Structure 1
Amino acid sequence: MTRSIEHRARHTPRVSLKGSRIYWEPSASLRRAGFKGVPLGLLSIDALNQADALNAKADEHIETSDADRSRPDTIASVLDDFEASDEFKQKSARTQSDRKRYYRRARKDIGHFNALQLTTLRMQTWYRDLSKASVADAIEHVSSVKVAFSWAVREKKMASNPATDVDMPARESRQRIGTRDELWAMVKALDSLQLPSISAISITTAGTMQRIGDVRSLITTNARGGQLSLIQSKTKRPLTFRLHSLIVDRLGDIPNDPAPLFRSERTGRAWHERAFNRAWSRARELAAKELPSLIGADPNVNEHVYQGDLQARDLRRTGMVWAAQAGATVPQICSVSGHSIEEGMKILETYLPRHQLLADQAIIKMDMVKTPSLDRVAESIAIAL
C-alpha cells in the first residue's frame, strides 16, 4: 500500500516528497498569480487528495488565463515552430504527414494553453478524451506531441515535457506475416485489376525487406544490373544488394532515363500512399473471395502471426521471416533490411515472431546425446550471430 501511495505522489503534478512528508509547490508563474506552497503533512491518501484539489484550482486558473493562439508562448506556436524546424523536416514524408494531422488536433484542443504552464494532468485528460474514440489513435496523438515537446524543451520554449508521464498503454507491435499463397493471390488479383505496378511493388517489398514507402519511391536508377541500391528514408542508410530473380523477371527491361520504377497505371507517376492503399484494399477484397485469410476471415487459421487482415506494410516483415525460415542469420537479414546487428537483435520479436518452423528447426538441431566441446559451442554461437 505504501509503495502505491509513493508512486502516486511521485506522479502527481506540483507535489514533492521529502522523507515521509509531502508538499504542494506551485510554479513561479502560479506564485506570481497568488498561489502559495502548502505543506500537506505526512504521506497519506488524504494528503494526496488535498494535492489533487489544489492542482484542480491551479489548472482552472491556467485554463482561464489570457493565453491565446496569437501569443508566442502557446502550445500552438510551439507546434508551428517544430514543424518549421530542421528536425521535423528531416522526417520522412509519411511521418511528417501523420504528425501534422496529430498536431492539427492538438492545436484545436490544447493549442491555447501557455507552453510554460501546460500540465501533465491536462495532457492525461486530453489522452482520456481522445481514447474514447480510439485508444490507438490517442496514443499516436500524445506520442507525437511528446516528440514536439521534447524539441521545445531543448530549444528552451518549454520548461519540461508534460507528455512524458502520461499514463497510457504501450503501443503493440504489429506481427502479421503473409504466406506464399497470400502473396501470389494478391499478385493474381492485382494483375486482374490491371495494376501490375502494385504487383511488382508487393513482390519487391517482400523480396528486398524494405519499407513499403521506400519501395514505392524507387526510381529506375536504383535498379541496375540485377542489383538494388538505395538510401533508406528513415535511417538514411545506403544499401546495395542483389535482387531476387523473381523481382528481376517482374521488372523486365528498365529504361535508362531516371523515372519512377513503379508508375501508377492511372497517373504515370509514383504511387501516393493513400491511392496505393485504396488499390491494395480493393485487390485484397477480390483475392479474399478465394483466400479468406487475407482479410482475417479463415476460421482454420490458429497461429496469431497469420490472423487478421494482411496489409502491404506486412510484406517487409514477411520477407524477413521467410529469409529466417530459409536459414539466413540475423546479420545476413540485417544486411538487406538495413538494421544494425544490435538493432536486429532488439527487434527480433517484432520482425521475426516466434514461428513453429523456426522452433522445429531449433529442436532438430539440438543434440541431446553428445556434449559439444567449448570450441564447438563458440563456433555455433558465432554462426548464429
Structure 2
Amino acid sequence: MKKPQPKIPYVTWRNGRPRFEPSKTLRDRGYKGKDLRNEDDGNWMTAGQALDWSQEFTREIEAEQREQARAKARVPMEKPQRIVPVLPTYPLEQLWKDWLTPEKNPAIADISPKTRYEYRRNGDVIARQMPDVWAAEAAALTKPICLGMYDRIRTNSGLAEAVNTMRRLGTALQWAMDRGKLPEMLINPAHKLRMKTPPSRIRAGTPAEIEQMVKVADAIGLPEIADMIVLGVWTGQRQNDRRQFTFLGRERGRVNFRQMKTKAIVSIPEAPELTNRIKAMQERRKRAEVVSPHVVLDERDWSQFDTFSYYKRYTLVKAAATSGLPAKGHRKEIKPMPSCSTLRDQDLRDTAVTWLARAGCTIPEICAITGHTFNSANEILKHYLAMHPELADNAMRKMVSWHEAGGAESYQ
C-alpha cells in the first residue's frame, strides 16, 4: 500500500518527491514553480526539510505583504472623480414642446387642433428616426445637419413627409430665434434647403363615385356621413368647417350656415341634392326628439363629430363602397366600385371646384361658393384642364357666340 504524503503549504508531491507549484496570484507576482532539492548536495528534500522550507517561504510572503500595506498607507489614494455628463441646456425636444405649448407660444392656440396634432407628429418623425438629434442641443443644428435630416426622412418616409417635417423644423427654430432662446444661431439652418416640392395631390370624385358613397352610407346606417359627403361636394367647404357648421336657415333660394371658429356666414345657393339631404336630416332629428343648431351630428349619440371619430366612420363607408354590399332584406345589391378606395374626404373640396368648372363657372364664381383663393382654385383646375377637353370646347363656343353677337365692335 502506497504511503500517503504529508500536506505541506506550497508543496506538492510527485512520485514521493516535493515540488513548489505557485498559485495564480503568486505567478502574477513573479514566482515560478521548482523542484525542492537541498542546495548543498542537490538531493531531494525530505518531508521535514520541505516543511522547514514551507514555513520560511510563508514568513517571506507575509513580510512582503506587510511592506506593500505600509507603502500603500504612505501614498494617499486618489478618489475617482465622478464623471457628470453635460446635458444640453436647450435640446430640440424641449424647443419643440415649448413651441407647441400655448402658455409659452400663445400664437399656437390660433391654429386648429388638427394642425397642432400634425406638428406634433412631425416632431415624432424626428424623434423616431434621429433620436440623437432630438436629444441634442438645438443650437448645434447646422445647414449640413438639416440637409442630412431631410435626406434621411425622404429615404425612410417619402418626399412629402420630409418636406413637411423640415418646414415645421424651420418654423420652430425661427420661433425660438426670434425670442432669444438660441442667441448663438444667427441664420436659420432649416431654411433655404432647396427641397424638392412634392406633387400636389388633386383628386376629384366622379358623379358615379359620389352617388356610390352616399348610397352605401345610407345603406349601412350612416346617413350623417352621406350628409357630410353631399355638403362637401355641394358647398366646397373643408371637413372641419362642415363638422362644425350651425344652420341659420334659408333665405331667397340660399341656405345659410355659420362657421363656429371664425363665426363667418357661409351662404350657398340651394341645390336639390343639398336641400333633400337637409330635409331628411331634420326629419331624423325630429323623430329622435333632438334639437341642435349643428348641421351634422354623430347620430349614435347625437353629439358633434371629432376628427378621429369622423375619419373612422368615413373610412368604413369608403371600404363598403369599394367592395360593394350584398342584397339584404329590402336592400338591393350594391356592386363594387374599386375607384372609391382612393377617394378621401379632402377630395370632396377638389370635386366641388372641378364640377363647377365643368359646368362652365368662372374662377371668381367658383371661389365665391367654395371659399378658395384664386391661386388654389387655379392649381386644382390646371390639373384637370388637359383631362377634360370639354372645358376648352365650352370656352371656344362662348368666344364664338361673343364674336358673332358683335363683340368685336367693342374694340372700335
TM bucket by the smaller chain? 0.5 to 0.7
Question: Equivalent residue for 1:154?
Answer: 178
Question: Equivalent residue for 1:344?
Answer: 374
Report the residue type matching 2:145 in the other structure: R
Structure 1 residues 218, 75: CA separation in 2 closer, same or farther (over 3 Å shift)? same
Q: Does structure 1 residue 106 correspond to structure 2 residue 126?
A: yes
Q: What is the deviation of 1:358?
A: 1.2
Question: Equivalent residue for 2:297?
Answer: 263
Q: Does structure 1 residue 373 correspond to structure 2 residue 408?
A: yes
2:396 aligns with one of 345, 349, 363:
363
The secondary structure found in structure 2 opposite 1:373 is helix
Report the residue type matching 1:228 in the other structure: N
Q: Does structure 1 residue 116 correspond to structure 2 residue 146?
A: no
1:125 aligns with one of 144, 148, 151:
148
CA distance in 2, matches of 1:257, 1:267: 13
- Match runs of 1:189-228 below 5 Å: 189-219=216-246, 221-223=247-249, 227-228=255-256
CA distance in 2, matches of 1:180, 1:211: 19
2:320 aligns with one of 286, 305, 316:
286
CA distance in 2, matches of 1:258, 1:292: 35
- 1:21-62 deviations in Å (ceiling 9; x for gaps): xxxxxxxxxxxxxxxxxxxxxxxxxxxxxxxxxxxxxxxxxx
Q: What is the deviation of 1:176?
A: 0.8
**TM-score normalized with structure 2 length:** 0.63
The secondary structure found in structure 2 opposite 1:164 is coil
Identity of aligned residues (%): 23
Report the residue type matching 2:119 in the other structure: R
CA distance in 1, matches of 2:260, 2:142: 37
CA distance in 2, matches of 1:137, 1:267: 36
1:314 aligns with one of 347, 352, 356:
347
Structure 1 residues 166, 151: CA separation in 2 closer, same or farther (over 3 Å shift)? same
Unaligned runs of 5+ in 2: 1-84, 324-334
Structure 1 residues 346, 263: CA separation in 2 closer, same or farther (over 3 Å shift)? closer
**TM-score normalized with structure 1 length:** 0.67
- 1:61-96 deviations in Å (ceiling 9; x for gaps): xxxx9443xx3x322222122112122111112111
Question: Equivalent residue for 1:90?
Answer: 110
Structure scoring higher RCO (CA < 8 A, sep ≥ 6) equals 1
CA distance in 2, matches of 1:186, 1:366: 38
- Match runs of 1:292-303 below 5 Å: 292-295=337-340
Structure 1 residues 178, 214: CA separation in 2 closer, same or farther (over 3 Å shift)? same
CA distance in 1, matches of 2:317, 2:233: 17
Larger displacement relative to structure 2 (88-97 or 109-118): 109-118
Aligned residues: 293
Q: What is the deviation of 1:198?
A: 0.3
- Match runs of 1:245-256 below 5 Å: 245-252=272-279, 253=282
CA distance in 1, matches of 2:156, 2:263: 35
- Match runs of 1:25-44 below 5 Å: none
Structure 1 residues 103, 259: CA separation in 2 closer, same or farther (over 3 Å shift)? farther
Contact preservation (8 Å) 1:231, 1:238: yes
Bigger Rg, which one: 2
